[in-house]
Chains A and B, each alone.
Chain A
Amino acid sequence: MDFAARHEAAQRLMEQEGIDVMLVAPNELNRVDTVFHLTGYRGVGETLAVLRRGEKPILIVTPEWEAERAQARAPQWTVRATNDLPQVVMTLFASGLPQGRTATVNLGRLPISIGKRLGEFVGADARKFEGKLEKALMPKTADEIEHARRATAIGEKAFERLLEVAHVGMPECDLAVELKLYMEELGSDDNFFLLTASPHNRAVQPSSGRKLEKGDIILAEMTPTYRGQLAQICRTAVVGPPSNLLADKYALVVRAMEAGIRTIRPGIKMSEVANAIDAVLSAEGYAEYCRPPHIRRRGHGLGHGSNAPGDVAPENEVVLQEDMVFVVHPNQYLPETGYLLCGEPVRVTGTGVEQLSKRTARLAVVPA
């Protein structure tokens, strides 16, 4: 699938559902940009994709000065750059939107300053198509898969850099910022990057000013984008020599992850991946740590375009298909060691699975 095919898939959905107009907004706070998924353009301001059955689609971007990049990234779309997004929609549909034949995606996620006016114009009878559109556009493009590979490589290099530059006394944030900028140098344009450290972590979190200490366990969830496509690797490093206990428990978590990855092939349910991970950990006596509040999921889809196929979780009944891309991360809390991170991004192949990372997580050591 490419962007043209994605637009065609959206058009087919509209035809099947009897929809003439579909208005699509991003869900930026949840790191899902459906406009980017449709067009290849990720905005600096609010954006709206306007799909009309059988007509050339329109991409509305804000502010007015964003026209150049929008047109460069979405050459198949008519771009309208404006400081007043609702007004452009009202002008486009001056005689009103077709009643009962209009669908919306994520309009409620726009900030009130824009969404309220737009919502009043659209009216309450518009149909909400969040799930339907995501399903129709689910397959990754060949470019997106390649971008996920490139993003993964950037993440792996950044972890190598972490092991070079992290040291006792360095604030978590300084380490995180240095690595984020390094990933930018390597070509990343955004990053869902969590990095924390403690002798006994309860979770991975956004970084703080806490300084690294000997005996800390550094958790790094590195999620760089490459041309908008996120890929994630999850890694753990200990400051100073690890105890045998920590090394053993980390090996267990990696073993659980590998069991999950080995199950992946087209036709199985996502829940089976999660269950395979849980089985390894449960067999070692950690069954109660395989559910909330300790863990909710064993991985997830990778945006920004779309989080499909969703979480690697026991309740996710999505059937895996070729070219689905997601991360498998046990990211397990164990009472003896605290939270440990390991995770690899994968692609479902025609017969099995391709791990996008070159090296599987191993407990790393930062000299102290």
Chain B
Amino acid sequence: MRVTQPAVLVGNYDWSEAQLPKAEYEARIKSVLEKLAGSGVAGLVVYGNKVDNAALAYLTNFTPKIESGIALVAKDGKVRIHGAGSPQMMVNAKRLTWVEDVRPLRDLAKNIGEWAEEAAPGPLGVWATEAMPTDLMPRLQAGLGERKLVDLNATLDPLLREKSPSAQRLVRGACVMLGAASTSLRAAFRAGATAREAAVAAEKSASEKGAQDVRALVSLSKGGTPTAIDYPQSGKLDPLLAYIAVRHAGYWAEGSLTLASAPGATLARTEEALKAMLTKVKAGATTAEIKQAAQEKLQGLEIHPAAAMPVNGIGLSLVEREADPQGVTRLEEGRIYTLRAGVRKPESDNALLSAMIEAKAGQAEILWSSLA
């Protein structure tokens, strides 16, 4: 789901050898270079910003805590990073990555142009262009003169979707933190907290467990769709719908919850729908059959718009980009997914539930679920 975007990322995004060793990043660089072999590109520009930084984090762990950053990957595997801020601010920027060459980003086009002068002739690949501001690409191209930029999202995005054992371990860690946050949210709700208080309790809990980032959305009105907490006060809402996203060492976990002191039929049927989806998930299962399983339990009810996409990949992004523009079509072994079921009704009797799973042959492992 979409979440609020803070002005600056405050949590701990420092690279840690213990969490994800340099050797793993070197293997990732190697995978990228193998994919680039034969493409004719002389080097790769990887873009990221504080909102969308999956590709940058994948290769370098560098996550811009303010504004934007780029990694410049030469054909020999040498990496340079430019991060937002003055030269004096690079002290902490360097802690964000295993890459030793970290420089200030002053003029992105100029920085890339200077680096390109040292690279071999030929076009440059660009990765994660979708996150770029629209006016940036023409400026980059203008700064490079005759040297062309080639969009490599389709070639390289599959690497983001693969989950190594280390990546799976980190997602599991994020799910543990999500579990703590959702437990706190439930406890706060039962104790009569306001929607805002419950959200803050969830965020505190995940932070105390070591999450580097946590964003909670909650209903604005009884049974309302979870949204940003942009007002200082909020009421005690029952039912309360909530969404929590937790990030751990770059990897996200997310969950949707519906809390009600007197659970109604809609919630019960949504639970049945999510359970039915979980019986279908395994490597090779199609999104169509998972969706069908949910729809059989929700006949006659309107699907909640926040559950319109019943399956999405999750990892370094909350919603991973798929090869098919419609989204996930078939579950792949070893990948991590969110399953989502939800119902919207004219009155406040709405429900949103979700689970995170790892797709395995013949079954799926449930990493977190909002089912009680």
Interface residues, chain A, CB within 8 Å of chain B? 28-31, 42, 44-45, 62-66, 68-69, 72-73, 83, 107-116, 118-119, 150, 171, 173-174, 176-178, 180-181, 184-194, 196, 198, 202-203, 205-210, 223, 225-228, 230, 293, 304, 333, 339
Contacts and interface: CB of A to CB of B under 8 A. Distances in A.
Binding site secondary structure of chain A = mixed
Interface string B214-231: 000100110011011111
B204 A181 contact: yes
Given A109-B135, A205-B91, A226 B232 contact: yes
B88 interface: yes
B92 A111 contact: no
A331 B49 CA distance: 26
B86 interface: yes
B4 interface: yes
B156 to A, nearest CB: 16
Contacts of B229: 184, 189
Given A181-B200, A209-B14, A227-B232, A112 B7 contact: no
Contacts of B261: none
Contacts of A208: 12, 14, 92, 95-96
A190 B129 CA distance: 27
5 contacts: A64-B308, A68-B225, A113-B131, A206-B8, A210-B95
Contact of A207 (B50, B68, B92, B129): B92
A180 B10 contact: yes
B63 to A, nearest CB: 10
A250 B7 CA distance: 28
Contacts of A193: 7-8, 10
B66 interface: yes
A205 B2 contact: no
- Name the 5 nearest CB pairs between A and B, nearest first: A115-B134, A108-B135, A187-B232, A203-B88, A202-B88
B134 A181 contact: no
Contacts of A31: 7
B278 to A, nearest CB: 23
Nearest to B65: A206
Nearest to B219: A68
A65 B134 contact: no
B230 A112 contact: no
B64 to A, nearest CB: 9
Contacts of A202: 88-89, 91
Given A66-B227, A189-B228, A196-B92, A111 B130 contact: yes
A186 B197 CA distance: 10
A293 B86 CA distance: 8
Contact of A189 (B68, B137, B230): B230
A109 B200 contact: no
A278 B304 CA distance: 58
A73 B230 CA distance: 10
B323 to A, nearest CB: 16
B231 A227 contact: yes
Given A65-B305, A171-B12, A205-B85, A28 B2 contact: no
B11 A177 contact: yes
B132 A111 contact: yes
Contacts of B65: 206
Nearest to B213: A177
A114 B129 CA distance: 12
Contacts of B49: 29
A191 B7 contact: yes
B51 interface: yes
Nearest to A110: B134
Contacts of A173: 10-12, 14
Contacts of A45: 2
A333 B86 CA distance: 13
Contacts of B203: 181, 184
A205 B85 CA distance: 8
B87 interface: yes
Contacts of B14: 173, 208-209
Given A44-B3, A227-B230, A69 B92 contact: no
Contacts of A192: 7-8
Interface in B101-127: none
A65 B225 contact: yes
A205 B230 contact: no
B134 A109 contact: yes
Interface string B298-309: 000000111010
A72 B146 CA distance: 50
A208 B92 CA distance: 6
A196 B51 CA distance: 22
Contact of B130 (A29, A83, A112, A188): A112
B131 A191 contact: no
- Which residue of B50, B67, B135 has the most chain A CB atoms within 10 A of its CB atom? B135
A197 B79 CA distance: 28
